A and B are shown apart, each in its own frame.
Chain A
Amino acid sequence: MTIQTMLQELSRGFLTTLSIFFFTLLGSLPLGLVVNLCRSCRIAPLRWLTKIYISIMRGTPLMLQLMVVYFGPNLIFGISTPSNWRSMAVIVAFVINYAAYFAEIYRGGIESISLGQYEAAQVLGYSRAQTYGKIILPQMIKRVLPPVTNEVITLVKDTSLASVIGVVEMFTRARQIAVAPHSPGMLTFAAAAVFYYVFNYVVAFVMERIEKALDYYR
Protein backbone atom coordinates (compact mmCIF):
# COMPACT_ATOMS: atom_id res chain seq x y z
CA MET A 1 0.00 0.00 0.00
CA THR A 2 1.43 3.36 -1.00
CA ILE A 3 1.40 6.36 1.29
CA GLN A 4 -1.03 8.04 -1.07
CA THR A 5 -3.57 5.20 -0.80
CA MET A 6 -3.12 5.21 2.95
CA LEU A 7 -3.90 8.94 3.09
CA GLN A 8 -6.95 8.45 0.87
CA GLU A 9 -8.22 5.68 3.11
CA LEU A 10 -7.64 7.81 6.21
CA SER A 11 -9.50 10.72 4.58
CA ARG A 12 -12.46 8.45 3.98
CA GLY A 13 -12.38 7.45 7.67
CA PHE A 14 -12.03 11.11 8.57
CA LEU A 15 -15.39 11.84 6.94
CA THR A 16 -17.00 9.43 9.40
CA THR A 17 -15.09 11.10 12.25
CA LEU A 18 -16.36 14.48 11.05
CA SER A 19 -19.95 13.34 10.89
CA ILE A 20 -19.81 11.87 14.43
CA PHE A 21 -18.31 15.15 15.60
CA PHE A 22 -20.85 17.30 13.80
CA PHE A 23 -23.99 15.37 14.72
CA THR A 24 -22.88 15.02 18.35
CA LEU A 25 -22.55 18.79 18.72
CA LEU A 26 -25.79 19.38 16.84
CA GLY A 27 -27.61 17.14 19.30
CA SER A 28 -25.79 17.65 22.59
CA LEU A 29 -25.37 21.45 22.69
CA PRO A 30 -29.16 22.07 22.67
CA LEU A 31 -29.96 18.90 24.63
CA GLY A 32 -27.60 20.14 27.35
CA LEU A 33 -29.85 23.19 27.74
CA VAL A 34 -32.91 21.01 28.15
CA VAL A 35 -31.09 18.82 30.69
CA ASN A 36 -29.99 21.93 32.56
CA LEU A 37 -33.60 23.18 32.66
CA CYS A 38 -34.81 19.81 33.97
CA ARG A 39 -32.10 19.78 36.60
CA SER A 40 -33.39 23.01 38.12
CA CYS A 41 -37.11 22.65 37.36
CA ARG A 42 -39.91 22.71 39.91
CA ILE A 43 -40.94 19.07 39.46
CA ALA A 44 -38.85 17.20 42.02
CA PRO A 45 -38.89 13.68 40.43
CA LEU A 46 -37.72 15.11 37.11
CA ARG A 47 -34.95 16.91 38.98
CA TRP A 48 -33.80 13.69 40.66
CA LEU A 49 -33.93 11.70 37.42
CA THR A 50 -31.82 14.34 35.71
CA LYS A 51 -29.26 14.27 38.50
CA ILE A 52 -29.04 10.48 38.30
CA TYR A 53 -28.66 10.66 34.52
CA ILE A 54 -25.85 13.22 34.75
CA SER A 55 -24.14 11.21 37.46
CA ILE A 56 -24.22 8.00 35.38
CA MET A 57 -23.03 9.73 32.21
CA ARG A 58 -20.09 11.26 34.04
CA GLY A 59 -19.38 8.29 36.25
CA THR A 60 -19.01 5.55 33.64
CA PRO A 61 -16.70 5.27 30.61
CA LEU A 62 -18.02 6.53 27.30
CA MET A 63 -16.73 3.32 25.71
CA LEU A 64 -19.03 1.30 27.96
CA GLN A 65 -21.96 3.61 27.20
CA LEU A 66 -21.38 3.08 23.48
CA MET A 67 -21.58 -0.67 23.97
CA VAL A 68 -24.74 -0.45 26.10
CA VAL A 69 -26.50 1.75 23.54
CA TYR A 70 -25.44 -0.46 20.64
CA PHE A 71 -25.94 -3.92 22.12
CA GLY A 72 -28.41 -3.11 24.91
CA PRO A 73 -31.68 -2.92 22.95
CA ASN A 74 -31.10 -6.38 21.56
CA LEU A 75 -29.34 -8.12 24.45
CA ILE A 76 -31.41 -6.64 27.28
CA PHE A 77 -34.81 -6.00 25.67
CA GLY A 78 -34.70 -8.41 22.77
CA ILE A 79 -35.53 -5.70 20.26
CA SER A 80 -34.22 -6.39 16.79
CA THR A 81 -32.31 -3.28 15.85
CA PRO A 82 -32.41 -1.84 12.32
CA SER A 83 -29.50 -2.53 10.00
CA ASN A 84 -28.19 1.02 10.26
CA TRP A 85 -28.39 0.92 14.08
CA ARG A 86 -24.60 0.99 14.38
CA SER A 87 -24.27 4.52 12.99
CA MET A 88 -27.35 5.66 14.91
CA ALA A 89 -26.16 4.15 18.19
CA VAL A 90 -22.84 5.93 18.00
CA ILE A 91 -24.57 9.33 17.65
CA VAL A 92 -27.12 8.55 20.39
CA ALA A 93 -24.40 7.48 22.83
CA PHE A 94 -22.21 10.51 22.10
CA VAL A 95 -25.14 12.95 22.28
CA ILE A 96 -26.46 11.76 25.65
CA ASN A 97 -22.96 11.62 27.09
CA TYR A 98 -21.92 15.08 25.93
CA ALA A 99 -25.31 16.63 26.80
CA ALA A 100 -24.67 15.70 30.46
CA TYR A 101 -21.32 17.49 30.43
CA PHE A 102 -22.67 20.52 28.60
CA ALA A 103 -25.58 20.73 31.07
CA GLU A 104 -23.11 20.96 33.94
CA ILE A 105 -21.07 23.59 32.12
CA TYR A 106 -24.21 25.62 31.46
CA ARG A 107 -25.17 25.33 35.12
CA GLY A 108 -21.84 26.81 36.13
CA GLY A 109 -22.36 29.65 33.64
CA ILE A 110 -25.86 30.41 34.87
CA GLU A 111 -24.86 30.33 38.52
CA SER A 112 -22.12 32.87 37.87
CA ILE A 113 -24.66 35.46 36.71
CA SER A 114 -25.47 37.90 39.50
CA LEU A 115 -28.83 37.80 41.24
CA GLY A 116 -29.21 41.47 40.32
CA GLN A 117 -29.83 40.54 36.69
CA TYR A 118 -32.83 38.41 37.67
CA GLU A 119 -34.12 41.09 40.02
CA ALA A 120 -33.77 43.86 37.45
CA ALA A 121 -35.66 41.75 34.91
CA GLN A 122 -38.35 40.87 37.45
CA VAL A 123 -38.92 44.48 38.53
CA LEU A 124 -39.15 45.57 34.88
CA GLY A 125 -41.87 42.96 34.41
CA TYR A 126 -40.13 40.36 32.24
CA SER A 127 -41.73 36.92 32.43
CA ARG A 128 -39.65 33.95 33.59
CA ALA A 129 -39.25 32.72 30.02
CA GLN A 130 -38.22 36.18 28.81
CA THR A 131 -35.73 36.55 31.65
CA TYR A 132 -34.15 33.23 30.77
CA GLY A 133 -34.17 33.68 27.01
CA LYS A 134 -33.26 37.35 26.74
CA ILE A 135 -31.18 38.13 29.80
CA ILE A 136 -29.65 34.99 31.29
CA LEU A 137 -29.01 32.71 28.30
CA PRO A 138 -27.07 35.20 26.14
CA GLN A 139 -24.80 36.09 29.06
CA MET A 140 -24.39 32.44 29.95
CA ILE A 141 -23.22 31.55 26.43
CA LYS A 142 -20.39 34.05 26.60
CA ARG A 143 -19.25 32.74 29.99
CA VAL A 144 -19.28 29.06 29.07
CA LEU A 145 -17.31 29.38 25.82
CA PRO A 146 -13.89 28.49 27.30
CA PRO A 147 -15.07 25.26 29.02
CA VAL A 148 -17.22 24.37 25.99
CA THR A 149 -14.11 24.71 23.79
CA ASN A 150 -12.34 22.26 26.06
CA GLU A 151 -15.18 19.78 25.74
CA VAL A 152 -15.36 20.15 21.94
CA ILE A 153 -11.65 19.45 21.65
CA THR A 154 -12.07 16.35 23.81
CA LEU A 155 -14.90 15.26 21.53
CA VAL A 156 -12.61 15.35 18.48
CA LYS A 157 -10.37 12.81 20.17
CA ASP A 158 -13.24 10.83 21.73
CA THR A 159 -14.67 10.03 18.27
CA SER A 160 -12.00 7.32 18.08
CA LEU A 161 -13.93 5.41 20.78
CA ALA A 162 -16.58 4.60 18.16
CA SER A 163 -14.27 1.83 17.00
CA VAL A 164 -15.39 -0.24 20.01
CA ILE A 165 -18.70 -0.95 18.29
CA GLY A 166 -17.10 -1.34 14.89
CA VAL A 167 -17.72 2.08 13.39
CA VAL A 168 -14.99 2.63 10.84
CA GLU A 169 -13.98 6.17 11.62
CA MET A 170 -10.47 7.42 11.03
CA PHE A 171 -8.76 5.76 13.98
CA THR A 172 -10.33 2.35 13.29
CA ARG A 173 -9.19 2.67 9.67
CA ALA A 174 -5.67 3.63 10.77
CA ARG A 175 -5.42 0.52 12.93
CA GLN A 176 -6.63 -1.69 10.10
CA ILE A 177 -4.12 -0.17 7.69
CA ALA A 178 -1.20 -0.33 10.11
CA VAL A 179 -1.47 -4.08 10.60
CA ALA A 180 -2.14 -4.90 6.93
CA PRO A 181 0.78 -6.46 4.99
CA HIS A 182 2.96 -4.07 2.98
CA SER A 183 1.39 -1.00 4.61
CA PRO A 184 3.23 2.15 5.70
CA GLY A 185 2.98 0.79 9.29
CA MET A 186 3.57 3.28 12.08
CA LEU A 187 3.52 6.13 9.58
CA THR A 188 -0.26 5.59 9.39
CA PHE A 189 -0.65 6.50 13.06
CA ALA A 190 1.58 9.53 12.60
CA ALA A 191 -0.66 10.62 9.73
CA ALA A 192 -3.78 10.06 11.85
CA ALA A 193 -2.22 12.16 14.63
CA VAL A 194 -1.68 14.99 12.16
CA PHE A 195 -5.33 14.76 11.07
CA TYR A 196 -6.54 15.05 14.69
CA TYR A 197 -4.12 17.82 15.48
CA VAL A 198 -5.05 19.95 12.49
CA PHE A 199 -8.73 19.38 13.13
CA ASN A 200 -8.36 20.55 16.72
CA TYR A 201 -6.29 23.49 15.62
CA VAL A 202 -9.19 24.59 13.41
CA VAL A 203 -11.68 24.00 16.25
CA ALA A 204 -9.62 26.10 18.65
CA PHE A 205 -9.28 28.83 16.03
CA VAL A 206 -13.02 28.96 15.35
CA MET A 207 -13.89 29.01 19.06
CA GLU A 208 -11.42 31.83 19.63
CA ARG A 209 -13.11 33.78 16.87
CA ILE A 210 -16.49 33.30 18.52
CA GLU A 211 -15.08 34.42 21.87
CA LYS A 212 -13.65 37.54 20.22
CA ALA A 213 -16.98 38.24 18.56
CA LEU A 214 -18.64 38.27 22.00
CA ASP A 215 -15.97 40.53 23.47
CA TYR A 216 -18.00 43.67 22.88
CA TYR A 217 -19.32 43.56 26.45
CA ARG A 218 -18.11 42.50 29.84
Chain B
Amino acid sequence: MRVLEMNHVKKSFDNETIHVLRDISLHVDEGEVVAIIGPSGSGKSTLLRCATLLTQMDSGDLIYTGTYAARDEGGRSVYAEKKILKEIRACFGLVFQNFNLFPHYSVLKNLTDPQISVLGRKKAEAEKKARELLAKMGLEDKADAYPCQLSGGQQQRVAIARALAMEPKILFFDEPTSALDPELTGEILKVIRALAEEHMTMVIVTHEMAFARDVADRVIFMDGGVIVEEGAPEDVISNPKEERTRQFLSRFSAE
Protein backbone atom coordinates (compact mmCIF):
# COMPACT_ATOMS: atom_id res chain seq x y z
CA MET B 1 0.00 0.00 0.00
CA ARG B 2 1.20 3.52 -0.79
CA VAL B 3 1.28 5.41 2.50
CA LEU B 4 2.59 8.75 1.26
CA GLU B 5 2.69 10.32 -2.14
CA MET B 6 3.95 13.80 -3.01
CA ASN B 7 3.70 15.00 -6.60
CA HIS B 8 5.50 17.96 -8.14
CA VAL B 9 5.87 19.79 -4.85
CA LYS B 10 7.15 23.34 -5.09
CA LYS B 11 7.82 25.73 -2.25
CA SER B 12 9.42 29.13 -2.22
CA PHE B 13 9.86 31.78 0.43
CA ASP B 14 10.02 35.58 0.40
CA ASN B 15 7.66 36.24 -2.51
CA GLU B 16 9.07 33.48 -4.68
CA THR B 17 12.61 34.80 -4.53
CA ILE B 18 14.00 31.78 -2.70
CA HIS B 19 13.01 28.46 -4.24
CA VAL B 20 13.49 25.80 -1.60
CA LEU B 21 11.69 22.94 -3.30
CA ARG B 22 11.65 22.78 -7.11
CA ASP B 23 9.36 20.05 -8.32
CA ILE B 24 9.84 17.19 -5.88
CA SER B 25 7.97 13.92 -6.28
CA LEU B 26 8.29 11.00 -3.97
CA HIS B 27 6.31 8.12 -2.58
CA VAL B 28 6.66 5.83 0.41
CA ASP B 29 5.13 2.37 0.56
CA GLU B 30 4.00 0.53 3.66
CA GLY B 31 6.92 -0.94 5.60
CA GLU B 32 9.48 1.04 3.66
CA VAL B 33 12.32 2.97 5.29
CA VAL B 34 13.42 5.97 3.24
CA ALA B 35 16.47 8.02 4.17
CA ILE B 36 16.82 11.55 2.82
CA ILE B 37 20.36 12.89 2.72
CA GLY B 38 21.89 16.06 1.37
CA PRO B 39 23.72 19.23 2.35
CA SER B 40 22.25 21.94 4.56
CA GLY B 41 19.83 24.14 2.68
CA SER B 42 19.01 21.42 0.16
CA GLY B 43 15.33 21.50 1.18
CA LYS B 44 15.22 18.23 3.17
CA SER B 45 13.66 19.79 6.25
CA THR B 46 11.22 21.90 4.23
CA LEU B 47 10.11 18.75 2.41
CA LEU B 48 9.46 17.08 5.76
CA ARG B 49 7.61 20.15 7.04
CA CYS B 50 5.41 20.14 3.95
CA ALA B 51 4.68 16.44 4.40
CA THR B 52 3.71 16.99 8.06
CA LEU B 53 1.50 20.01 7.30
CA LEU B 54 3.72 22.39 9.27
CA THR B 55 4.42 24.36 6.08
CA GLN B 56 2.04 24.86 3.18
CA MET B 57 3.24 23.87 -0.26
CA ASP B 58 2.87 26.38 -3.10
CA SER B 59 1.92 23.74 -5.61
CA GLY B 60 1.74 19.97 -5.85
CA ASP B 61 -0.24 17.11 -4.34
CA LEU B 62 0.08 15.61 -0.88
CA ILE B 63 -1.67 12.28 -0.48
CA TYR B 64 -1.84 9.96 2.52
CA THR B 65 -3.19 6.42 1.96
CA GLY B 66 -5.21 7.65 -1.00
CA THR B 67 -6.69 10.71 0.75
CA TYR B 68 -5.69 14.10 -0.61
CA ALA B 69 -4.39 16.49 2.05
CA ALA B 70 -3.67 18.94 -0.74
CA ARG B 71 -4.48 18.78 -4.44
CA ASP B 72 -2.82 20.75 -7.18
CA GLU B 73 -5.40 22.87 -8.93
CA GLY B 74 -4.00 25.04 -11.69
CA GLY B 75 -0.54 25.28 -10.19
CA ARG B 76 -1.71 25.96 -6.62
CA SER B 77 -1.99 23.51 -3.76
CA VAL B 78 -5.52 23.53 -2.41
CA TYR B 79 -5.72 22.02 1.04
CA ALA B 80 -8.52 19.77 2.21
CA GLU B 81 -11.03 20.95 4.79
CA LYS B 82 -10.18 20.99 8.51
CA LYS B 83 -11.90 17.72 9.35
CA ILE B 84 -9.98 15.77 6.70
CA LEU B 85 -6.68 17.36 7.71
CA LYS B 86 -7.34 16.29 11.29
CA GLU B 87 -7.81 12.70 10.13
CA ILE B 88 -4.66 12.93 8.04
CA ARG B 89 -2.65 14.29 11.00
CA ALA B 90 -3.60 11.14 12.88
CA CYS B 91 -1.84 8.96 10.33
CA PHE B 92 1.65 10.42 10.68
CA GLY B 93 4.07 11.19 13.48
CA LEU B 94 7.11 13.45 13.57
CA VAL B 95 10.23 13.26 15.69
CA PHE B 96 11.98 16.62 15.90
CA GLN B 97 15.66 17.39 15.96
CA ASN B 98 15.33 19.08 19.36
CA PHE B 99 12.70 16.69 20.78
CA ASN B 100 10.05 19.31 21.66
CA LEU B 101 8.75 17.38 24.64
CA PHE B 102 6.29 19.23 26.85
CA PRO B 103 8.51 20.32 29.77
CA HIS B 104 5.65 20.83 32.25
CA TYR B 105 4.41 17.25 31.82
CA SER B 106 6.05 14.16 33.28
CA VAL B 107 7.39 11.60 30.82
CA LEU B 108 4.27 9.50 31.33
CA LYS B 109 1.94 12.44 30.76
CA ASN B 110 3.85 13.44 27.62
CA LEU B 111 2.84 10.03 26.27
CA THR B 112 -0.69 9.79 27.67
CA ASP B 113 -2.08 13.29 27.22
CA PRO B 114 -2.08 13.30 23.40
CA GLN B 115 -3.74 9.87 23.38
CA ILE B 116 -6.44 11.10 25.77
CA SER B 117 -6.89 14.63 24.34
CA VAL B 118 -6.64 13.81 20.66
CA LEU B 119 -7.61 10.16 20.24
CA GLY B 120 -10.11 10.12 23.11
CA ARG B 121 -8.58 7.05 24.74
CA LYS B 122 -9.40 6.15 28.33
CA LYS B 123 -6.73 7.08 30.86
CA ALA B 124 -5.99 3.47 31.86
CA GLU B 125 -5.66 2.41 28.24
CA ALA B 126 -3.37 5.35 27.45
CA GLU B 127 -1.18 4.58 30.45
CA LYS B 128 -0.89 0.94 29.51
CA LYS B 129 0.19 1.90 26.00
CA ALA B 130 2.62 4.50 27.38
CA ARG B 131 4.26 2.08 29.80
CA GLU B 132 4.64 -0.56 27.09
CA LEU B 133 6.40 1.93 24.85
CA LEU B 134 8.61 3.25 27.66
CA ALA B 135 9.64 -0.31 28.44
CA LYS B 136 10.45 -0.83 24.78
CA MET B 137 12.62 2.29 24.88
CA GLY B 138 14.34 1.08 28.05
CA LEU B 139 12.86 3.95 30.05
CA GLU B 140 10.31 2.20 32.26
CA ASP B 141 11.91 3.72 35.37
CA LYS B 142 11.61 7.26 33.98
CA ALA B 143 7.81 7.45 33.77
CA ASP B 144 7.55 9.96 36.61
CA ALA B 145 10.60 12.03 35.67
CA TYR B 146 10.35 15.38 33.90
CA PRO B 147 12.05 15.95 30.53
CA CYS B 148 14.63 18.32 32.06
CA GLN B 149 15.88 15.49 34.27
CA LEU B 150 16.74 13.31 31.27
CA SER B 151 19.74 13.20 28.94
CA GLY B 152 19.27 14.27 25.33
CA GLY B 153 19.22 10.68 24.17
CA GLN B 154 16.59 9.76 26.75
CA GLN B 155 14.49 12.77 25.79
CA GLN B 156 14.63 11.77 22.14
CA ARG B 157 13.55 8.22 23.02
CA VAL B 158 10.60 9.68 24.95
CA ALA B 159 9.77 11.79 21.88
CA ILE B 160 9.84 8.67 19.69
CA ALA B 161 7.61 6.85 22.19
CA ARG B 162 5.22 9.82 22.25
CA ALA B 163 4.91 9.69 18.47
CA LEU B 164 4.46 5.90 18.48
CA ALA B 165 1.75 6.09 21.14
CA MET B 166 -0.48 7.74 18.54
CA GLU B 167 -0.02 4.64 16.33
CA PRO B 168 0.93 6.49 13.16
CA LYS B 169 1.01 4.74 9.81
CA ILE B 170 4.20 6.59 8.96
CA LEU B 171 6.84 8.18 11.17
CA PHE B 172 9.05 11.08 10.07
CA PHE B 173 12.40 11.89 11.67
CA ASP B 174 13.93 15.33 11.17
CA GLU B 175 17.65 14.87 11.87
CA PRO B 176 16.86 12.97 15.07
CA THR B 177 20.47 12.75 16.23
CA SER B 178 21.82 16.17 15.24
CA ALA B 179 21.41 17.60 18.74
CA LEU B 180 23.15 14.64 20.37
CA ASP B 181 26.76 13.65 20.98
CA PRO B 182 28.08 10.51 19.23
CA GLU B 183 27.49 8.25 22.21
CA LEU B 184 23.84 9.28 22.57
CA THR B 185 23.42 9.16 18.79
CA GLY B 186 24.09 5.43 18.99
CA GLU B 187 21.18 4.77 21.33
CA ILE B 188 18.72 6.61 19.06
CA LEU B 189 19.96 4.83 15.94
CA LYS B 190 19.50 1.52 17.77
CA VAL B 191 15.87 2.39 18.48
CA ILE B 192 15.19 3.40 14.87
CA ARG B 193 16.89 0.24 13.64
CA ALA B 194 14.63 -1.83 15.90
CA LEU B 195 11.59 -0.05 14.46
CA ALA B 196 12.82 -0.78 10.94
CA GLU B 197 13.03 -4.46 11.83
CA GLU B 198 9.37 -4.31 12.85
CA HIS B 199 8.63 -2.84 9.40
CA MET B 200 7.55 0.52 10.68
CA THR B 201 7.13 2.88 7.71
CA MET B 202 9.66 5.67 8.18
CA VAL B 203 11.17 8.68 6.44
CA ILE B 204 14.42 9.77 8.03
CA VAL B 205 16.28 12.97 7.24
CA THR B 206 19.79 12.30 8.46
CA HIS B 207 23.47 13.08 8.18
CA GLU B 208 24.45 9.62 9.44
CA MET B 209 25.54 8.05 6.17
CA ALA B 210 26.57 4.69 7.58
CA PHE B 211 23.23 4.45 9.34
CA ALA B 212 21.27 5.42 6.23
CA ARG B 213 23.11 2.76 4.25
CA ASP B 214 22.40 0.05 6.84
CA VAL B 215 18.80 0.81 7.68
CA ALA B 216 17.15 2.39 4.64
CA ASP B 217 15.46 0.47 1.85
CA ARG B 218 15.83 3.51 -0.34
CA VAL B 219 18.02 6.60 -0.16
CA ILE B 220 17.15 9.97 -1.64
CA PHE B 221 19.90 12.51 -2.20
CA MET B 222 18.64 16.09 -2.37
CA ASP B 223 20.44 19.27 -3.35
CA GLY B 224 19.23 22.70 -4.36
CA GLY B 225 15.59 21.78 -3.93
CA VAL B 226 15.59 18.81 -6.27
CA ILE B 227 16.11 15.07 -5.94
CA VAL B 228 19.49 14.49 -7.52
CA GLU B 229 19.65 10.76 -7.09
CA GLU B 230 17.42 8.08 -5.64
CA GLY B 231 17.74 4.35 -5.24
CA ALA B 232 18.98 1.45 -3.16
CA PRO B 233 21.48 2.55 -0.50
CA GLU B 234 24.28 0.44 -1.92
CA ASP B 235 23.87 2.33 -5.21
CA VAL B 236 23.36 5.88 -3.97
CA ILE B 237 25.76 5.86 -1.03
CA SER B 238 28.37 3.30 -2.02
CA ASN B 239 28.22 3.78 -5.76
CA PRO B 240 26.71 7.15 -6.71
CA LYS B 241 26.13 7.92 -10.39
CA GLU B 242 25.80 11.69 -10.13
CA GLU B 243 28.86 13.88 -9.75
CA ARG B 244 27.09 16.06 -7.13
CA THR B 245 26.30 13.02 -4.97
CA ARG B 246 29.87 11.81 -5.19
CA GLN B 247 31.14 15.25 -4.22
CA PHE B 248 28.83 15.40 -1.20
CA LEU B 249 29.62 11.88 -0.04
CA SER B 250 33.37 12.34 -0.37
CA ARG B 251 33.23 14.39 2.82
CA PHE B 252 31.92 11.35 4.67
CA SER B 253 34.40 8.89 3.16
CA ALA B 254 36.55 9.07 6.26
CA GLU B 255 33.87 7.17 8.18
Contact = CB atoms under 8 A, between A and B. Distances in A.
Contacts of A122: 53-54, 89
A125 B52 contact: no
A157 interface: no
B1 interface: no
Given A125-B90, A126-B114, A134-B113, A120 B148 contact: no
Contact of A125 (B86, B146, B147): B86
Given A130-B117, A216-B146, A119 B104 contact: no
Interface residues of A, number: 19
Contact of B147 (A116, A134, A217): A217
B102 interface: yes
A124 B52 CA distance: 10
A139 B101 CA distance: 12
A126 B103 contact: no
A126 B118 contact: yes
Interface string B93-124: 11010101111100000000110011100000
15 contacts: A116-B96, A116-B98, A116-B100, A120-B102, A123-B54, A123-B93, A123-B94, A124-B163, A124-B166, A125-B86, A126-B117, A130-B118, A142-B104, A217-B146, A218-B103
B10 interface: no
A130 B113 CA distance: 11
A217 B119 CA distance: 26
Interface residues of B, dominant DSSP:
loop
A122 B113 CA distance: 13
Nearest to B54: A119
A178 B100 CA distance: 60
Contacts of B54: 119, 122-123
Interface of A: 114, 116-117, 119-120, 122-126, 130, 134-135, 138-139, 142, 216-218
Contacts of A130: 117-118
Contact of B118 (A114, A120, A125): A125
Interface of A is mostly: helix
A135 B102 CA distance: 7
A217 B148 contact: yes
A134 B109 CA distance: 12
B44 interface: no
B117 A117 contact: no
Contacts of B166: 124-125
Interface in B148-175: 148, 162-163, 166
A151 B161 CA distance: 41
Contacts of B118: 124-126, 130
Contacts of B119: 125
B100 A120 contact: yes
A135 B113 CA distance: 11
Contact of B96 (A120, A125, A134, A217): A120
Contacts of A116: 96, 98, 100
Contacts of A119: 54, 96, 100
Given A135-B102, A139-B103, A217-B103, A125 B89 contact: yes
Contacts of B103: 139, 217-218
Nearest to B118: A125
Contacts of A126: 114, 117-118
Contacts of A134: 113, 117
Contacts of B94: 123
Nearest to B166: A124
Given A120-B102, A126-B114, 5 more contacts: A117-B102, A123-B89, A123-B94, A125-B166, A139-B104
Interface in B51-85: 52-54
